[in-house]
Structure 1
Amino acid sequence: MPHLSIDRQAAERVTAVLAQLTEHLGNKVSTNPSVCEAHSHGEALELARLPAGVVFAETTDDVSTVLALCHSAYVPVVAFGAGTSVEGHVTPPEHAVSIDLSRMTAVLQVNAADMDCRVQAGLTRQELNVRLRDTGLFFPVDPGGEATLGGMCATRASGTAAVHYGTMKENVLGLTVVMANGEVIKTGGRVRKSSTGYDLTSLFVGSEGTLGIITEVQLRLHGIPEQLSAAICQFENLEDAVRTAVEVIQAGVPIARVELMDDVQMAASIRYSGLEELRPITTLFFEFSGAPASVREQVDVTEMLARENNGLGFAWADTPDERTRLWKARHNAFWAVKALYPGARIVTTDCIVPISRLADLIVGVKADIQESGLEAAILGHVGDGNFHTLIITEDSAAGHAKAMDLDRRIVARALELDGSCSGEHGVGVGKLEFLAQEHGEPSLRVMRTLKVALDPRNILNPGKLLPEGLAYIG
C-alpha cells in the first residue's frame, strides 16, 4: 500500500480538524473561499497564502478548543486580528487554520480609580477610547491603523505617542494567553509592579503569536490632558529638522508627539490630505499636552530650538478639528504616497537608532536613496529615534528586488549605528534575515529554546519571528 505524501497527510489532518471544530463551534468555522482570501495576508508585504479554514473565536474557550484540537493533529494555527500587520505576520503556512479574534470586542472591566482596564483581544484601540470617553481616561498607544489590542501586544506596537507614553511594553499589565496545547494561563495582574516569578507578560508581548495566542489584555490607562496644542514647523534642510527633534528630547521637554515628514512625503500628503497651505519641504509635527503653564513652557523651549535650527516658524492647530486634520494627514502618509504614484509598488522600512545617531542615519539614508535611483519618502516618530522609508518602485520582480536592496542598505546602516531592524513593525517574515546580525546566534538559540519549550510541535505561527536554526543550546 503506497504511503501518502507529507503534503497529503497535512491536508487530510487539517480537513479532519476542521470537521471536528465545526462539530464543536458550528457556524463560527468557515471554509468559504472569500473568507479564506481575506485571511491570507496582512498589509504592505506582498505575501499571501490561503488558510484551510477560518475560525471566528468569540471567547477564550473557543481559542482553547481550536488549539487543543490543532495541537493533537499537528495542524498549524495563525491568529488574525485586523490584518494590519506589515511584515507578513498573519500569512498562514500551508494547511493551516486562521483564528480570527475580531469578534472578541468586550470591555471586561474598567477600574477608573486605579487607571486600568481589561479587554478582549479583538477590540481596537479606537473603540476602547470611545468606550472610555466618560471616564476622563484614555489609552494612548497609537500605531495609526485600525489595529486590535491583541495584535498590538503581539507585535509590541508603538506609534506617534510613544515618545511620551511608551509602547505596548510599558502599557500592558497582564494577559490571558492560550498555549499551544489549549491550556489557558494568566500573566501579570493589576498591580503596577511585582517582584515574583518570571515576567511572562513581557515574554508574550512582542512574541508575534509564536508562543501563545493572547485573548485578554489588562491595560494601563492615562488621564486625558487638561490642554492639547498641536503645531507644525517647516525646514528647508532635512538635517535641521532632525536636529531640532533630537534637541527637544535631549532638553527634557515632555512632548506628547514629534513626527517628521520629508519633502517627498509632504508633497504626497499636501495633495492627498488637502494641506495646500504648506510647502513640500521637510516638516515636523508637534503635539504638547498637560496643564496650561506646562504646555506654554514646552512650546517656548521647542520654538527656541526650532529657530536656532533654521525653522521657518510655527503654525498652530488649537481646535480639535484642526488637530485631527493634522494627525489624520500623518496617519494617512502611506496612502498619500500610494495615491501619488498609482500602479507603483511601495516597500516600507522600519528601523530605529539611539536618538543621538538619528541625524547620521537619516542623512545617510537620504544619500542611499539618491544613489539607488529610486524615489522614497521618509517619515517617522523621530522623538524616539524611529523612522520609516516608503520606497517607490515599479510593480515588477526587478523593481521589488531593487527596493529590497535599498531596504537592506537602510537596515544595515541602522545596525551599524547601534540600532534595530524594527522599532515597531516587528519581524514576521519580512525582517528574518536581519535577526542574526542584530542579536547574534547565542541569543537566537535561547529564543529557539523558549519556542520549543512552549510550542514543541511548532504549530503557532511557524516560520515567523525566528530564523531557521538549532533549537537547543549546545
Structure 2
Amino acid sequence: MPVTAQSNVRAVGDVRAAIEALQGRFGERLSMAQAVRAQHGNTTTWHPNQPPDAVVFAETTEEVADIVRVCAGHDVPVIAFGTGTSLEGQVNAPFGGICVDMSRMNRVLQVNAEDLDCTVQAGVTRKQLNTELRASGLFFPIDPGADASIGGMTATRASGTNAVRYGTMKDAVLSLTAVMADGTIIRTARRAKKSSAGYDLTRLLVGSEGTLGIATEITLRLHGIPEAIAGGVCPFTTLEGACNAVIATIQSGIPVARIELLDEVQVRASNAYSRLSLAETPTLFVEFHGSEAGVAEQSQRFGEIAAEFGGGPFEWTQNAEERTALWQARHDAYWACRGLRPGLETFATDVCVPISRLAECILETKADIERLGMLAPIVGHVGDGNFHTSVLVDMSDPADIARVEEFMTRLVERAIAMDGTCTGEHGVGQGKMKYLDAELGAAVEVMRAIKRALDPKNIMNPGKIVRI
C-alpha cells in the first residue's frame, strides 16, 4: 500500500539548529536545494517522495560520525543514501531530517587477493568494484540489477541473479565499520572467515536499512572468476513447466549459477526494450560456472531436464558478448515493464517461498493477475524461490490502486501461508512494515527492543521496518 502523505509528516527535533551546525562544518557540501532534496527522497516506486530537510555529502567515516552526533544532539533524524535504487521507500524522510549522501565515499580501500576479500567504502558501486577487481582474477557476485552501492546493498540485505550459487549480502559481508546512533564508530568483526566471539553484530546490521547504524566501510567475501561460463535461454510451452523445471534442476543438485524466470509478458517487454527476438512464451535464462567440461555437462543435463517439462530447445553459449546482452536485458526488466504502458507507475514487489512451493505460488499469483485484469509481468530469481511482479498502476484511478492493493495483500498472504516471506530481497522500508507481524509474530517486538536499545532517540531512519 502506498504511503498517503504528500510531504513530511512532522518536524522532529531542532532541524534549523542542526542545519546551522552542519553548515559551519561542511559548507557547500550541505544542500537545501529543493531539487537535491527531492532527488534524495524516494523515486523508484509508487510511494510518494518525502524529501529530507537537507543533504550532506560525506567523504569519510569520521564525517558521518560528526553528522550523526550533531543530529543526535538536536534529536533530528538521519537517513543514509547510496544510489537511491531501493524499492520500498527506504530513503524517504517521513519525519524530515538530514540525508547523508555516501556517493563520495567511493574508494576501494584494500584488496586481499590471497584471502579472497576486500574492504570498500559504502559508496562504491558493484560495477565499480568488479571493474577494479578484474586484474586480480576475483569478482564480487552479488548483483541486484541496478548499479547499487555496496552500502545500500548491505543495508537492504540485497541479493540478485547469482544468489542461488553465491548467496546474498548476509553471506558476502565479513565485517563492517558503522556509525551508531550516538556517533560512536564501531567495527563489527575482523577478517577471519569464521568467529564465535560474541554477538554477530555484522549480520544484525546487514539488512537493518540504516535503522540501527550507518555502514561506512564494508569487508566483503570475493570469489575467483570462473574458468568457463556458459549460459543461454530455454523457452517453455507453459509457466508451470518452467517452474517445475527449476525445481527439478535445483533438487537434482546441478550447480547452477543463475536461473531466472520471465513470463510471456516480461519476455514481450524485454524484446521491445532490449531488442531481443525471443519467443513470447515463459522462458528461463540460465548460467553455469566452472571448468570447460563442467559447464558443458551441466548445460546438457539442464537441457534434458527442461525437455521433460515441455522446454527447449536450450540454446547456450560461452560467448561473453552474447551472455552480457542477455543478462543486461534481465537487469533492465524494470525499465522494460515501464515501456509496456507509458504514463503509468510501476510498482515492483517480491516474495520468496520454499522451492517446493514455487510453482504453486507463481501459478496462483498469475491467476490473480488475470482475474483482476492487471498488467503485471512476472520475473524472478527462481533458483532460490524468489520472484517479482512489476505492477503497472494508474495512480489517478482509485479503483486501479485498490486492485493493486488487493493483489499485493493476497500475494504476501499466499507467500507467508507457504512458509515464505513478504520480501526476499527488496527489504521492508515503509511498504512492507504492515506484513511483519503476520510473518514473524512476537519476533517483531524483539526487533523493537533492539531498535530502542541501540537508537533510544529513534533518529536513525525512523519510520522504516518497525514503528516505535
TM range (shorter): over 0.9
Query: In terms of mean alpha carbon deviation, does 446-455 or 22-31 score higher?
Result: 22-31
- Residue identity in the other structure for 1:412: E
| Partner residue in 2 for 1:374 | 374
TM superposition shift of 1:26:
2.0
Give CA deviations for 1:13-46 in whole Å, capped at 9, x if unaligned: 1111111111122222111222111112141233
- Residue identity in the other structure for 1:126: K
Q: 1:321 to 1:14 in 2, by over 3 A?
A: same
| Partner residue in 1 for 2:329 | 329
What CA distance in whole angstroms lies between the structure 2 residues aligned with 1:46 and 1:435? 18
Percent identical residues: 50
1:458 pairs with 2:458: yes
Query: In terms of mean alpha carbon deviation, does 16-25 or 141-150 score higher?
Result: 16-25
What CA distance in whole angstroms lies between the structure 1 residues aligned with 2:37 and 2:211? 21
SS in 2 for 1:375: coil
Q: 1:88 to 1:319 in 2, by over 3 A?
A: same
| Partner residue in 2 for 1:178 | 179
TM superposition shift of 1:397:
4.4
Contact 1:241-1:282 within 8 A present in 2 as well: yes
SS in 2 for 1:349: strand
- Residue identity in the other structure for 2:145: G
What CA distance in whole angstroms lies between the structure 2 residues aligned with 1:387 and 1:10? 38
| Partner residue in 1 for 2:19 | 18
How do residues 271-290 of structure 1 correspond to structure 2 at under 5 angstroms?
Answer: 271-276=272-277, 278-290=278-290
TM superposition shift of 1:318:
2.4
| Partner residue in 1 for 2:385 | 385
- Residue identity in the other structure for 1:394: D
TM superposition shift of 1:9:
10
Give CA deviations for 1:307-341 in whole Å, capped at 9, x if unaligned: 11111211223211100110011111111110121
| Partner residue in 1 for 2:3 | none
Q: 1:94 to 1:8 in 2, by over 3 A?
A: closer
TM superposition shift of 1:421:
0.2
| Partner residue in 2 for 1:472 | none
SS in 2 for 1:288: strand
What CA distance in whole angstroms lies between the structure 1 residues aligned with 2:446 and 2:13? 34
TM superposition shift of 1:343:
1.1
TM superposition shift of 1:72:
1.0
Contact 2:180-2:213 within 8 A present in 1 as well: yes
Query: In terms of mean alpha carbon deviation, does 79-88 or 92-101 score higher?
Result: 92-101
Query: In terms of mean alpha carbon deviation, does 177-186 or 33-42 score higher?
Result: 33-42
| Partner residue in 2 for 1:364 | 364
- Residue identity in the other structure for 1:185: I
How do residues 70-219 of structure 1 correspond to structure 2 at under 5 angstroms?
Answer: 70-219=71-220
SS in 2 for 1:134: helix
| Partner residue in 2 for 1:340 | 340
What CA distance in whole angstroms lies between the structure 1 residues aligned with 2:358 and 2:220? 31
SS in 2 for 1:376: coil
TM superposition shift of 1:170:
0.4
What CA distance in whole angstroms lies between the structure 2 residues aligned with 1:12 and 1:295? 58
Count of residue pairs brought into register by the alignment: 460
TM superposition shift of 1:8:
12
| Partner residue in 1 for 2:412 | 411
| Partner residue in 1 for 2:320 | 320
What CA distance in whole angstroms lies between the structure 1 residues aligned with 2:423 and 2:13? 38
SS in 1 for 2:377: strand
- Residue identity in the other structure for 2:153: M
- Residue identity in the other structure for 2:219: Q
Contact 1:334-1:390 within 8 A present in 2 as well: yes
What CA distance in whole angstroms lies between the structure 2 residues aligned with 1:221 and 1:374? 41
What CA distance in whole angstroms lies between the structure 2 residues aligned with 1:32 and 1:366? 44
SS in 1 for 2:359: helix
- Residue identity in the other structure for 1:256: A
Q: 1:450 to 1:400 in 2, by over 3 A?
A: same
State the TM-score, normalizing by the size of structure 1: 0.95
Give CA deviations for 1:426-457 in whole Å, capped at 9, x if unaligned: 000110111000000x2111110000000000
SS in 1 for 2:376: strand
SS in 2 for 1:188: coil
What CA distance in whole angstroms lies between the structure 2 residues aligned with 1:178 and 1:146? 24
What CA distance in whole angstroms lies between the structure 2 residues aligned with 1:9 and 1:415? 34
TM superposition outliers: structure 1 runs of 4+ over 4 Å: 7-12
1:297 pairs with 2:297: yes
- Residue identity in the other structure for 1:205: V
TM superposition shift of 1:467:
3.8
| Partner residue in 2 for 1:351 | 351
What CA distance in whole angstroms lies between the structure 2 residues aligned with 1:233 and 1:432? 37
Q: 1:8 to 1:38 in 2, by over 3 A?
A: closer
SS in 1 for 2:347: strand
Q: 1:11 to 1:437 in 2, by over 3 A?
A: closer
Name stretches of at least 5 consecutive residues in structure 2 with no aligned partner. Answer: 1-7
Give CA deviations for 1:127-169 in whole Å, capped at 9, x if unaligned: 0000111000000000000110000000000100000000000
Give CA deviations for 1:75-129 in whole Å, capped at 9, x if unaligned: 0110000000000000012331100001000111100011100000000010000
